Structure 1
Amino acid sequence: MVVGLFGGSFNPPHEGHLLVSEIALRRLRLDQLWWMVTPGNPLKSKSGLAPLQERIAMSERLVRDPRIKVTAFEQSLGGPYTAHTLAHVKARNRGIHFIWIMGADSLRTFHLWQEWQSIVRTFPIAVIDRPGSTLSFLSSNMTRTFDYAHVDEDDAGALWKKPAPAWTFLHGPRSTISSTSLRLAGAGNPRT
């Protein structure tokens, strides 16, 4: 089984998250995609962060594809760091091939994440294009440091077969919707 791991605060979840999910499911040939709704992001202010249970409920109402599973297991791990979460997932799911899914907008600050190089060495990574971030894969610390591990997007369907470090950048339709813009507009509720 091939599973994508898509972490974030989903504060609130929106159609842009669904678009990233659709691209990942199709282009990476995933069997499932786990939305890992995080308790919080250590690099972002907790001001305006909706309660975890509310973000989970909004995500469950938004998701229609049965291959997308909304999870919040990171809360039980005792820490908010992706490296720790991925190590936990890897240790407890030996028979599953995982791919870490991230938006290109995260590349700008990825080198600030705790143990970011460990993250890159845990699972293959698929970076999904986001508006205003298309060129970030050319200049980010991650992509420069791990340039040798780049997989052409035409081979993305076989990314799960590559040992980490391995990463690809997927171009495709992009949504201008962001959780930040939705919060600022006061439109925190997805379709019900």
Structure 2
Amino acid sequence: MKIGLYFGTFNPIHVGHLTIANHLAEHSALDQVWFVVTPLSPFKKKSSLLDNHQRLEMVYRATKDYNKLRPSDIEFSLPEPNYTIDTLTYLLEKFSEHEFALIMGEDNLKSFHKWKNYEVILDNHDIYVYPRISEGNIETRFDGHPKIHHVDAPIMEISSTFIRKSIKAGKNIRPLLPEHVWEYVDEMNFYK
């Protein structure tokens, strides 16, 4: 089985994440997409993150009605700081029957050459890149690379940061969250 790994803090997971993941599960060579909930990104302040298990619960609630989408807490047990190459190595050992690919936005492809062991990742894993509206030049460093697949997924410009700020400001953002996630966020008074 070919599994796409969609990494993120998912703080909270929103309809943009779901739309992209479902598009890839339905319209690419991927059989499933796993939402890998990241415990702590080196680029984000920990204070703004909900607890790991609360974010995992949101991903579980968002994906439970989709048989090709799954939540994953695989990084919760890995030592920090954790790098994508370490997660991939661990997954290959644990699930040797599967083939793993990465899912990333075009904006992340621009800095991919700075990732730890990015050449090893490229040698061993496909990368599915979805479009983003971004400033600056399109990344051309990897043009024509046989492992990089640009996917014509819908462009989703919804951010978890915008959702958190809007909730704090008392705005109704319900259409931006999957229904089960909205119910959980509302019930738990998250981001207020």
Q: Tell me the TM-score normalized by structure 2.
A: 0.79
Aligned residues of 2:11 and 2:49 also touching (Cα < 8 A): yes
Q: Tell me the equivalent position of 1:180.
A: 161
The secondary structure found in structure 2 opposite 1:149 is: coil
Q: How far apart, CA to CA, are the structure 2 residues paired with 1:47 and 1:105? A: 25
The secondary structure found in structure 1 opposite 2:47 is: coil
Q: Tell me the equivalent position of 2:32.
A: 32
What fraction of aligned residue pairs are identical, expressed as a percent? 33
AA matched with 1:3 = I
Alignment of 1:163-174 (within 5 A): 166-174=147-155
Q: Tell me the equivalent position of 2:93.
A: 91
AA matched with 1:179 = S
Write out the 4+ residue segments of structure 1 that deviate beyond 6 Å after TM superposition: none
Kindly tell me: are residues 174 and 7 of structure 1, through their superposed partners in 2, closer, same or farther at Cα, counting changes over 3 Å? same
- The structure that has the greater radius of gyration is 2
Q: Deviations over 1:140-190 (max 9, x none)?
A: xxx51x43424xxxxxxxxxxxxxxx1111123112211121122226975
Q: Tell me the TM-score normalized by structure 1.
A: 0.79
Aligned residues of 2:127 and 2:149 also touching (Cα < 8 A): yes
Q: Tell me the equivalent position of 1:68.
A: 69
Q: Using the TM superposition, give the Cα deviation of residue 76 of structure 1 relative to its aligned residue in structure 2, in angstroms.
A: 0.8
Aligned residues of 1:12 and 1:190 also touching (Cα < 8 A): no
The answer on 1:147 being equivalent to 2:143 is yes
Q: Tell me the equivalent position of 1:156.
A: none
1:127 maps to which of 126, 129, 139: 129
Gaps of 5+ in 2: 168-172, 181-192
Q: How far apart, CA to CA, are the structure 1 residues paired with 2:121 and 2:161? A: 25
Q: Deviations over 1:10-31 (max 9, x none)?
A: 1110001111111211222322
What is the number of residues matched between the two proteins? Answer: 171
Q: Tell me the equivalent position of 1:118.
A: 120
Q: How far apart, CA to CA, are the structure 2 residues paired with 1:17 and 1:172? A: 11
Kindly tell me: are residues 184 and 111 of structure 1, through their superposed partners in 2, closer, same or farther at Cα, counting changes over 3 Å? farther
The answer on 1:191 being equivalent to 2:179 is yes
Q: Tell me the equivalent position of 1:6.
A: 6
Aligned residues of 2:4 and 2:32 also touching (Cα < 8 A): yes
Give RMSD over aligned pairs: 2.2
Q: Using the TM superposition, give the Cα deviation of residue 38 of structure 1 relative to its aligned residue in structure 2, in angstroms.
A: 0.9
Aligned residues of 2:88 and 2:100 also touching (Cα < 8 A): no
